[in-house]
């Protein structure tokens, strides 16, 4: 029994503090009377217990934070391991993808001989060429993918006629090997809602790349039926947009895989050993997002898929002024023209020389920039084909000296770097134009004609 009123108040204070602690308030403390009596010792004990509870609570809060961090770390490790696993699978697949066309190139090259039966030479050459194109596509995909991954893929915007792009993609795809060989798959002409030409400010090369990738995939995964593509203008939350689609009647994609297929290295059916490097859709997604749009898929297994992507659009139709690029369809004879080639790789040099000699071009060759400069002291060509990466004096140093000496003839740079930004560097250095390796005969001749024709004006 508590006799003194003051002691009773102190005990009531203790009860109040205990209740507050019970409700989770660990900031409370009891005042000591200074009498150092039993009640003070009780209060001191309570204060120190509350402190301990606070410390324990702080440790628990910290532990909870650590737990969260650990959970996030575990997830990150899982993601890294999954990425690593996919990378390994990707490398194995890529090895297969690269070796397959290489196998054809090397195998059929060995079979080429003067003793071949009629038609065989052309057939083998066609296989070698197609395998080369396939290999080039793989290399382009890897380069694009690595650029997208490091946010270094430059875009080159211009006002594009979308109807025209759709038509060009249709013509390209119509000539694809699988479509030509199959009578069970039909590629429908692009579905275009509007009869007027639609102009869109975008990167036409990348837009075609996205469409071609999606259509290639659609054809690849369709045994019979049709593949169709088109676009329509839609109203979105951020204004009008063009919605493109590529639809097929192929194997379809299950709900669970629909998101994953846009992730790098993932293929619709990892076990089906379909050809492809698993980068296509990942590149599409990266490109669409770079161009300001979104990409998604709707699909039913065994019925087909429809891939959609949007690009931001504002009506630029009438006001758009498209740059008229002069077409050079008519052949301009190169016979008698004089071309100097600077190239350190003997195979590449021989190829360029052969291509030009067939056209009647007078050719002189140099194995490095310094040798080319020596040649230029003796003679002046109509045009120079200049490799960039050369020993003794590289392409940049060579073009600088050519221009410094007052020579103004067109110079076409040729390089294996193949990065779009390389072009602007090369042009700024003083070259007239640029062509990337591997150099296709028709492209090279067309470019030379264009450059020489311009120069002759």
Partner 1 sequence: MGDIDEEIKVREISDKEIWVNTNKFSLIYDNIIYVIAVGEQTTEFAKAQAEICMKMSALIKGKVNFLIDLNKSGKNSPGARKMWKTLIEHDNTEKVATFGLHPVAKVIASFVMRVSSGNKMRFFSTKEEAIAWLRE
Closest approach of partner 1 to the CB of residue 17, in Å: 13
Instruction: Please report, for residues 115, 116, 128, 134, 427, the alpha-carbon distance to residue 106 in angstroms, rounded to integers and kept in the order given.
Output: 18, 17, 8, 14, 36
List beta partners, residue 180: none
Q: How far is the CB of 23 from partner 1 (least distance, A)?
A: 16
Minimum CB distance to partner 1 smaller for 23 or for 324: 23
Least Å from the CB of residue 51 to partner 1: 5
Report the distance separating Cα 336 and Cα 356, nearest Å. Answer: 10
Phi, psi of 17 (to 5 degrees): -65, -45
* In the complex, least distance from residue 44 CB atom to partner 1, rounded to whole angstroms: 5
Of 317, 165, 315, the closest CA to residue 235 belongs to 315
CB of 27 to partner 1, least distance (A): 6
**Two tokens at 328?**
């050079």
* Cβ proximity to partner 1, 27 vs 151, nearer residue: 27
Strand-by-strand arrangement of the 383-387 sheet: 362-366, 338-342, 383-387, 411-415, 433-436
Please identify, using beta-carbon distances, which residue of 36 and 126 lies nearer to partner 1.
Answer: 36
State which residue, 57 or 328, has the beta carbon closest to partner 1. Answer: 57
Rounded-to-integer distance, Cα 279 and Cα 197, Å: 32
Cβ 234 vs Cβ 310: under 8 Å: yes
**Nearest residue (CB) to partner 1, 42 versus 89:** 42
- Positions touching partner 1 (CB under 8 A) are 26-27, 29, 32, 36-38, 40-42, 44-45, 47-48, 50-52, 54-55
CB of 36 to partner 1, least distance (A): 4
Closer CB to partner 1, 58 or 133, in the complex: 58
Whether 270 contacts 288, CB under 8 Å: no
Considering the complex, what minimum distance in angstroms separates the CB of residue 41 from partner 1? 3
Distance CA 5, CA 302 (A): 87
Minimum distance from residue 15 beta carbon to partner 1 (Å): 18
Nearer to partner 1, 51 or 84 (CB): 51
DSSP state of 184: S
The tokens of 210 are what?
């996205």
State which residue, 39 or 105, has the beta carbon closest to partner 1.
39
Reference 421, options 152, 127, 161; nearest CA is 152
C-beta separation of 224 from 250 below 8 A: no
Q: Shortest approach of partner 1 to residue 277 CB, angstroms?
A: 59
Q: What SS3 state is found at 152? A: coil
Shortest spacing between CB 31 and partner 1, in angstroms: 11
d(CA 297, CA 245): 9
CB closer to partner 1 out of 38 and 235: 38
In the block, tokens 């690009």 appear at 311
Q: How far apart are CA 357 and CA 334, in angstroms?
A: 10
What is the DSSP code (8-state) at residue 455?
H
CB of 16 to partner 1, least distance (A): 17
62 vs 172 by CB, closer to partner 1: 62
Phi, psi of 295 (to 5 degrees): -130, 140
**Cβ(383)–Cβ(359) under 8 Å?**
no
Torsion angle of C-alpha atoms 37, 39, 45, 48, degrees rounded to 10: -100
> What is d(CA 181, CA 175) in angstroms, rounded to the nearest whole number?
10
Measured from the CB atom, is 56 or 71 closer to partner 1? 56
Residue 207: count other Cβ atoms within 10 Å of its Cβ. 23
């Amino acid at each position: 029994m508590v006799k003194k009123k003051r002691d009773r108040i102190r005990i009531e204070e203790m009860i109040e503090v205990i209740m507050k602690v019970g409700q989770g308030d660990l900031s409370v403390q009891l005042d000591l009377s200074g009498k150092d009596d039993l009640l003070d010792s009780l209060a001191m004990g309570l204060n120190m217990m509350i402190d301990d509870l606070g410390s324990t609570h702080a440790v628990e809060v910290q532990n909870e934070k650590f737990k969260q961090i650990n959970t996030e770390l575990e997830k990150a490790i899982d993601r890294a391991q999954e990425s690593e696993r996919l990378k390994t699978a990707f490398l194995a697949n890529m090895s297969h993808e690269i070796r397959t066309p290489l196998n054809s190139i090397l195998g059929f090259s060995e079979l080429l001989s003067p003793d071949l039966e009629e038609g065989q030479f052309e057939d083998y050459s066609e296989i070698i060429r197609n395998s080369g194109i396939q290999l080039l596509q793989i290399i382009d995909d890897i380069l694009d993918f690595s650029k997208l991954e490091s946010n270094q893929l430059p875009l080159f915007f211009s006002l594009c006629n979308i109807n025209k792009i759709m038509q060009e993609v249709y013509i390209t795809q119509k000539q694809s090997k699988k479509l030509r060989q199959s009578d069970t798959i039909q590629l429908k002409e692009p579905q275009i809602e509007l009869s007027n030409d639609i102009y869109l400010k975008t990167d036409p090369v990348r837009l075609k790349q996205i469409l071609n990738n999606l259509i290639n995939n659609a054809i690849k995964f369709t045994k019979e039926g049709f593949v169709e593509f088109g676009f329509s203008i839609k109203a979105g939350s951020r204004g009008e947009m063009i919605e493109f689609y590529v639809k097929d009647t192929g194997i379809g994609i299950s709900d669970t895989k629909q998101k994953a297929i846009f992730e790098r290295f993932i293929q619709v059916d990892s076990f089906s050993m379909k050809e492809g490097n698993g980068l296509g859709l990942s590149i599409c997604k990266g490109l669409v997002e770079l161009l300001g749009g979104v990409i998604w898929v709707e699909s039913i297994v065994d019925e087909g898929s429809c891939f959609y992507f949007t690009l931001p659009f504002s009506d630029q139709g009438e006001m758009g002024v498209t740059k008229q690029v002069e077409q050079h369809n008519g052949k301009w004879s190169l016979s008698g023209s004089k071309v100097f080639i600077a190239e350190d790789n003997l195979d590449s040099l021989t190829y360029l020389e052969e291509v030009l000699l067939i056209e009647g071009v007078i050719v002189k060759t140099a194995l490095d920039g310094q040798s080319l400069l020596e040649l230029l002291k003796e003679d002046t060509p109509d045009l120079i084909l200049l490799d960039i990466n050369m020993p003794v004096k590289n392409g940049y140093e060579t073009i600088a000296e050519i221009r410094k000496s007052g020579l103004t003839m067109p110079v076409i740079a040729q390089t294996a770097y193949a990065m779009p930004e390389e072009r602007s560097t090369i042009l700024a250095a003083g070259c007239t134009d640029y062509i990337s390796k591997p150099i296709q005969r028709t492209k090279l001749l067309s470019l030379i004609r264009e450059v020489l024709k311009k120069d002759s004006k």
